[in-house]
Structure 1
Amino acid sequence: MFLLVLGAILFLPLFMPLDPLALNYTAILAPPGSEHLLGTDAMGRDLLARIVYGGRSSVMIGALVMVVTALVGTLIGVLAGTSRRLDGPLMRSMDVLMAFPVLLLALAILAALGNTALNVVFALSLVYIPRTARIVRGEALVIRSQPFVEAAQSIGASRLRILFVHILPGVLPALMVQETFLFAYAILGEAGLSFVGLGLQPPDPSWGNILGEARATYRTAPWLMIYPGLALALTVLSLNLLGDGLGQAIDPKRRN
């Protein structure tokens, strides 16, 4: 399902002339039809084009957030899980960030820094890093107490060797599952920020600001909310199903 969504937003413009910014005042709020497959918005812009290009923005931001949180969260989690001296300060810092609602903290960061795409990535990464860090720390604590790690320590293996050869490979399965879910959360978070006007700014489309613009006309033009909402829901659902499937494949205890 995710590959279908990804294929549509990446390759559909190769087969159809789509321009998300082209204005057509003779086709304002045109319903879905042969000329505009998903209809048009209040400025006559083709909704299919805006969903396709908005999907690129939303998925790109979600992917960048996933990569940043994976790198930084893994670093913090591994350091906390393998160093008793760093464990307390790092985890208390993560607890402070987790004490705030995710979108509320992201909104505050964007209000302070400005609503650019880079700042959206930074804000969402900052609020989701603690989730990854806590999961990686828990896995690192378990692996650190395993006999093979103690055996490596007993023969004089360096801390870096133990970290990269024994602990990091052990946390990767849980990290893969977590980041798949976080990919979906980041896409949904970006949509929420754009919906209230603090994410990507018009005329650049994203699923969130397309839905935000549809608030004024959804009674007379329900397709403006149905189709982008469906694209967002399918993408988030597919990533959640993918994460659940990975979890069952990686963890034998979840298969039953």
Structure 2
Amino acid sequence: MSRGRRPAGLALLAVLGAAACLGPYLTRWNWAGVDVTAFGDPPSPRHWLGTTPAGRDMYAITLRALRRSLAVGLLVASGATGLAAVTGAAAGHLGGWADRLLRSVTDLLLILPPFLIAAVASQKITGTAGTALLLTVLLWPVTARAVRVATRSLREEGYVLAARQLGAPAWAIIRRHVLPSLAPLLLADATLNTGAAIVAESGLSYFGFGVRPPDVSLGTLIADGAPAATVFPWLFLPPVLLLVLVLLAVDLAGAGLPGRPSPRER
């Protein structure tokens, strides 16, 4: 069953990505443009998803928000998982001071309230790249600990011991043997980080700590449309449905990925 869900999730992600990148070219309305003849209009052939009370096209700004959320999710997934893979594998394989340093840093980051840190830092850090960097710093410690534990269990495997006896450098062993064995774990973690980053970015924007006007995010659109959801549903439903679809696609894409590598199968 998981084998069928994973292609479905990847296909849905591809469709959402294509819609975010190519969808704006299907309409003549710009996400920042204003139609002075349509303030709060319902969906119509002129405005496919209606307009905001300020006259902005909902179709254009919703795709703008979707593109931002997908970009943040992918950047955080690659950044947090990549950083955790390198630091966790190094600490687990080298031990000693590297292991103590990683545990000290992760302990410090894990005891700090992440939402409070993100809310305060987001006042100074703006933009897609800045938001992705902030969430990367907050998400990598948990993965780094998991990678460290998995790496320590690989240190006594035959192929690692053989490479060590042959005089292979530690970083060469990590690059050629440890990280490839951890690939299933890292792939599963990347999907989790993608969903967590999208939820975190949308949540920060919902509470006013993320995107600054006039730019938009799925979180800001949901926050703006929630008070009038029963009167102007076209302001609320499109961003909510897109957020649900994105999280569903990420969950399906990660379905069936093993949480632990199998060196014997490798």
Task: Give me the TM-score of the superposition, normalised by structure 1.
Answer: 0.89
Residue 102 of structure 2 corresponds to 90
- 1:33 equivalent among 22, 28, 44: 44
The aligned counterpart of 1:254 is none
Bigger helix fraction: 1
Q: Which residue of 2 aligns with 1:168?
A: 179
AA aligned to 2:170 is R
In structure 1, distance between residues paired with 2:43 and 2:256: 36
Q: How far does residue 20 in structure 1 lie from its aligned partner after superposition?
A: 0.9
1:42 to 1:247, Cα distance in 2 relative to 1, 3 A:
farther
* Partner Cα distance (2:232, 2:199) in 1: 23
Q: Distance in 2 between matches of 1:2 and 1:76?
A: 29
> Is 1:20–1:205's contact at 8 Å kept on the other side of the alignment?
no
Find the counterpart in structure 1 of residue 151 from structure 2: 140
Matches within 5 A, 1:1-256: 1-85=12-96, 86-111=98-123, 113-247=124-258
1:216 Cα deviation from its structure 2 partner: 4.0
SS in 1 for 2:122: helix
Matches of 1:244 and 1:11, distance apart in 2: 27
- Tell me what 2:8 maps to: none
Q: Is the 8 A contact 2:91 2:102 kept in 1?
A: yes
- 1:5-61 C-alpha deviation (Å, 9 max, x unpaired): 111111112333231111124322211222222111121111111111111111112
Paired letter, 1:73: A
Q: Decide whether aligned partners of structure 1 residues 222 and 48 sit closer, same or farther in structure 2, where only a CA change above 3 A counts.
A: same
After superposition, the Cα gap between the structure-2 partners of 1:15 and 1:115, relative to the gap in structure 1 and judged at 3 Å, is closer
Specify the SS of the correspondent of 2:182. helix
Distance in 1 (CA, whole Å) between partners of 2:206 and 2:179 is 38
CA distance in 2, matches of 1:186, 1:78: 23
SS of the residue 2:254 aligns to: helix
- Contact in 1 for aligned 2:94/2:170 (Cα 8 Å): no
Q: Distance in 2 between the 1:115 and 1:161 partners?
A: 38
Tell me, yes or no, if the aligned pair for 2:92 and 2:152 is still in contact at 8 Å. yes
Amino acid at match of 2:254: G
Taking only aligned residues, the RMSD between alpha carbons, in angstroms, comes to 2.1
Identify unmatched segments of 5+ residues in structure 1.
252-256
CA contact (8 A) 2:71 2:128 kept: no
8 Å contact from structure 1 (residues 117, 199) kept in 2:
no
The match for 2:9 is none
Could you tell me which amino acid in structure 1 is paired with residue 111 of structure 2?
A
Quick check: 65-74 or 173-182, which moved more? 65-74
Kept in 2: contact 1:139–1:170 (CA 8 A): no
Larger RCO (CA within 8 A; separation ≥ 6): 2
* Matches of 1:121 and 1:102, distance apart in 2: 14
Unaligned runs of 5+ in 2: 1-11
| Percent pairwise identity | 30
Partners of 1:160 and 1:120 lie apart in 2 by 31
The answer to whether the 8 Å contact 1:38/1:47 transfers is yes
